[in-house]
């Protein structure tokens, strides 16, 4: 992050719809076994989207990739981070930037803006794209921007 702030963030506004890909992405295969431990998957009855759940390690598996987005707020050479609250959730106690996961049909930029609002109470436009990461069952997009006002602690980020 330090190198990113040092380089400056005054680039052209990001437009993910104009991105050119070098090669076609590989088709997503339907999972029958867990990516972590190899055990058989079952359909989750606890969630409305009825994703797959591993019988052994209880990790969730989605047929379609899960979309996630973050919006790093940079002000005066400093990046806004918060310590994750909510025990029994991934990343508890670790520092991170505001982020969130989206639902079907939600624009990736809106996921980033909503994550910022829900976790810090701040609103702001997106200035540029930092990176796109694709994992085994998800896609994460990181943006940067600035925000007016002061961030407020929330259940997601009790410490800022």
What is the rounded distance in angstroms from the CA atom of residue 125 to the CA atom of residue 132?
Answer: 18
Q: What is the structure's pLDDT at 135? A: 72
Q: What is the structure's pLDDT at 69? A: 92
| Dihedral sign of CA atoms 149, 150, 153, 157 in order | positive
| CATH class of the domain at 1-28+65-160 | alpha beta
| Residue-range domain boundaries for the chain | 1-28+65-160, 29-63
Does pTM surpass 0.95?
no
**83 has a pLDDT exceeding 80:** yes
Task: State percent of the chain over pLDDT 90.
Answer: 8
Name which residue leads in pLDDT, 103 or 25. Answer: 103
SS3 114: helix
């Amino acid at each position: 992050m330090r190198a990113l702030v040092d380089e400056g963030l005054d680039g052209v506004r990001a437009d993910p719809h104009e991105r050119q890909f070098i090669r076609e992405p590989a088709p997503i295969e339907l999972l029958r076994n867990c990516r972590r431990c190899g055990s058989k998957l079952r359909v989750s009855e606890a969630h409305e989207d009825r994703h797959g759940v591993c019988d052994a390690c209880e990790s969730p598996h989605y047929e379609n990739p899960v979309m996630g987005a973050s919006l790093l707020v940079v002000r005066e050479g400093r990046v806004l981070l918060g310590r994750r609250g909510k025990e029994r959730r991934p990343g508890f106690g670790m520092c991170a930037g505001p982020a969130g996961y989206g639902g079907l049909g939600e624009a990736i930029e809106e996921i980033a803006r909503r994550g910022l609002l829900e976790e810090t109470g701040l609103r702001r436009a997106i200035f540029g794209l930092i990176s796109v990461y694709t994992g085994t069952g998800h896609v994460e997009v990181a943006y940067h921007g600035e925000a007016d006002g002061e961030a407020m602690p929330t259940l997601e980020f009790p410490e800022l």
